[in-house]
Structure 1
Amino acid sequence: MEAYDKLPYQPTLEIKPFHAQAPEKCLDDFKQLLRLSPIGPRTFENSDTNDRRYGPSRRWVIKAKDNWLGEFDWRRHEERINSFPNFTAAVDEFNEAGDKLEIHFVALFSQRPDATPLVLYHGWPGSFMEFFDVLDIIKEKYTPRELPYHVVVPSLPGYAFSSGPPLEYDFTLEDSSLALDKLLRGLGLYGYIAQGGDLGASVARYQAAKCNSCAGMHLNYTPLPRPPNAAALPVSELEERGLQRGLWFREVGAAYAILHGTRTATIGLALSTSPLAVLCWISEKFLDWTDEDTSLDTILAHATMYWITETFPRCIYPYRDMAGDAERPRIAKASGPSGYSFFQHDIMPMPASWVATSCNLVSVAMHENGGHFAAMEKPKELLADIEAYMKKAYMGYKRGHSETESNRYRKETPEAE
């Protein structure tokens, strides 16, 4: 079988193969802590009758804990992680502070000389594992000789196997975006397309707006303020239902983000005391932010990843910016060709006409089904949207893989029709 792990260009960074395998003692300690973690008393708020209005029910948490201690098999999830080529890269000198990070990423590299670089960014409370179904579809559809893309799926700084932000100063999502851009340039992947949802959408948008080596973006999440001319913009019935969904989220679902942004240390330390605390905090998002409930096994896999890699306290730094009024960097204006996938059950699905006020929108796909974790919920649909966007905006466009060639992409890529 042909391999997808051959680097297409001579890298300018130190790239190492990576194999996921948690030490046995780490898993033993995790299970011991889980066994000793008490479940709080029954209350009105955690009863089944409230239909998760105030969070997960106590009955659901009891079932999840029992499954976690019994049937759940982390080693099986590690096998799936390792079924894809994994790497780490040492990235430094990407910002004014001269920081150095080790960034983990999964990749499917093409053997075609004209392959288009495509980077897929996850968000919170997910991880690079969100894209496994998409990667499996790509492997089923294309051999390395046929694959029209170099696909890279990084762990954002602070997540999973990537190192966390420095301790000395206020590291931001802008810094992460620059570090990830340096990673891609170090792989020789100039003229890349950035795709993302949640925090990954903010990274993609920042790179599309600010990094010469990024040729464009495709987003499946792009929260925006109401445009001044909103009354004059077309909004379909489907999009109107999406706006109502966004109102629900702002009224009853957004408290976590305020806490992340204003009491980052408190929640980080509190959730570092017990794996069950991590599960309770992130499980409701996988249940409430989706069209259909995420499987318990998938939720437990993400919670386990967060616990064994100490992800949670390291990863919520971007929310400190989002607690203020600055546009850093979630609504940076992008001029290159952009694509957008609307999923009605996302937490803040925006009308395409609103999205078009913030970018050069050339490709739109609308979906009645699917929610915030589109890559997990609707992998076929999301991949089809990305490919349709790339075909319309970029396929056949000649690319290079050097620093001097990177400045031309936004000048030569096509404009919206």
Structure 2
Amino acid sequence: MSHTPPSCAKPFSLDISEEDYSDFKQLLKASKVGPPSYENGEQGGRWCGVTHKWLTDTKDYWLNKFDWRAQEKRINSFPNFIMEVEDCNIHFVGLFSEKRDAIPIVFMHGWPGSFIEFLPLCELVQKKYKAADLPYHIIVPSLPGYTLSNTGGPTDKSWTMEDTSRLMNTLMKNLGFDQYIGQGGDVGGFLCAILSAKFDACVAVHLNMLGIYNYPENSELEDFEIEALEYSREWHKTGTAYAQEHGTRPNTISFVLNSNPLALLAWIGEKFIEWSDETPHLDAILTNISLYWFTSCFPYTVYPYSQLFGGSPPEPRPFLSKPTGFSFFPKELYPGIKKALETQVNLIDWQKHDKGGHFAALEEPEALLKDVEGFVKKAWKV
């Protein structure tokens, strides 16, 4: 298709009103950081959550030094669009190629992320290619309910990942793509699995996380795999309380975090620190959290947890027979051990990296882009 998106995709520009921005700053300024304790001191350790110093310093930076308008300008420097899909206004960044044989790829984020995670990758694509020779159409949506796709959730039913997958498939079809490739980690990885299993238009998927519960014995693994699994198992012991809260008491935590930006900062900021191999730049973290705050989207972003942690186990995932690629990052929460993946997906490409964590697109955009490009060459058979 042409690099010009269809008329149903309306250009979008982000502009948080001065009133909303002023209200946010006043509320943040009035918010109190709790008193110091042994656990929230530097000696408390990573597994205790954010430290008193980090929260105090970051509050000050967010309030007095962080330039939201500059971040807004950066977001608007990319081609942003809004498209109505099944009565939902879906936001996406779209880098459209002029090549008739360009390959459509949809990049899907997870929680507590947003489309912001993929902007460094989009910048790399823009530097590497002009529209005339771009081999891909790059589509980076805000998932339904998240940030700029937050039009409120349904009031007559709970939203599911199957609903989100259906909307993502419809988005790609409405953009004129009869076939496409999916990419994602975290929730985006679960969505890729659903798209691969249930939608013909999705012909292949590339992942950087997929929930795996049956790993081989250590004797069958390489040292780096054993180390990654030990890291993951320690996280499962100490780092999943948030998920139980999301899955079993979503109302309570949603009301808490929608009431106060400092609370949201602590809850989400912890994840960017703990789940990353190297903590992302503070501006990236605060841009993401600011979007969560300004769009009041948190209650809708925890829907997947009711499926994963809400008591009723999700349906068993079928073997993914379509071509699947994987990028292994050592600090991923669910490490993609090759032997385990091969029992669950048609793994045609697996790439190992020596650094990187859960937010792969944000932490290691060059490595992820290289992996995706290599995978696409193997997987796209049209």
Normalising by the residue count of structure 2, what TM-score does the alignment of the two structures yield? 0.96
CA deviations on 1:192-230 (whole Å, 9 max, x unpaired) are: 100001001011111011111100100000121115xx3
Q: How does 1:179-194 map to 2 (within 5 A)?
A: 179-194=167-182
Q: Which amino acid aligns with 1:53?
A: W
5+ residue gaps, structure 1: 93-99, 399-417
Q: Which amino acid aligns with 2:142?
A: S
Aligned to 2:158: 170
Query: Which of residues 65, 74, 81 in structure 2 aligns to 1:71?
Result: 65
Is the 8 Å Cα contact of residues 336 and 360 (structure 1) preserved in structure 2?
yes
CA deviations on 1:156-193 (whole Å, 9 max, x unpaired) are: 01111102321111211110110111111011112110
Is the 8 Å Cα contact of residues 209 and 334 (structure 2) preserved in structure 1?
yes
Query: Which of residues 359, 373, 397 in structure 1 aligns to 2:345?
Result: 359
Is the 8 Å Cα contact of residues 3 and 131 (structure 2) preserved in structure 1?
no
Distance 2:33 2:135 in 1: 50
Give the 3 Å change call, closer, same or farther, for CA 153–328 of structure 1 in structure 2: farther
Aligned to 2:205: 217
CA deviations on 1:248-283 (whole Å, 9 max, x unpaired) are: 110011111111000001100111110000000011
Query: Which of residues 229, 232, 246 in structure 2 aligns to 1:246?
Result: 232
After superposition, the CA RMSD in angstroms is 1.6
SS in structure 1 of the partner of residue 330 of structure 2: strand
Deviation at 1:51, TM superposition (A): 2.3
Is the 8 Å Cα contact of residues 120 and 194 (structure 1) preserved in structure 2?
yes
Q: Structure 1 residues 127-136 or 240-249, which shifts more?
A: 240-249
Distance 1:294 1:381 in 2: 15
Q: Which amino acid aligns with 2:274?
A: D
Q: Which amino acid aligns with 1:130?
A: E
Is the 8 Å Cα contact of residues 233 and 354 (structure 1) preserved in structure 2?
no
Q: Structure 1 residues 70-79 or 162-171, which shifts more?
A: 162-171
5+ residue gaps, structure 2: none
Is the 8 Å Cα contact of residues 56 and 280 (structure 1) preserved in structure 2?
yes
Distance 2:135 2:275 in 1: 32
The alignment status of 1:376 with 2:370, answered yes or no, reads no
Deviation at 1:5, TM superposition (A): 6.1
Deviation at 1:38, TM superposition (A): 0.8
Distance 2:305 2:223 in 1: 32
Aligned pair count reads 379
Q: Structure 1 residues 49-58 or 117-126, which shifts more?
A: 49-58
Give the 3 Å change call, closer, same or farther, for CA 232–34 of structure 1 in structure 2: closer
The alignment status of 1:308 with 2:302, answered yes or no, reads no
Deviation at 1:235, TM superposition (A): 2.3
Query: Which of residues 27, 40, 46 in structure 1 aligns to 2:40?
Result: 46
The alignment status of 1:58 with 2:52, answered yes or no, reads yes
Distance 1:181 1:326 in 2: 24
Aligned to 2:91: 104
Q: Percent identity?
A: 41
Aligned to 2:119: 132
CA deviations on 1:103-145 (whole Å, 9 max, x unpaired) are: 1000100010101110000011110000011000101111101
Is the 8 Å Cα contact of residues 245 and 349 (structure 1) preserved in structure 2?
no
Distance 2:3 2:80 in 1: 8
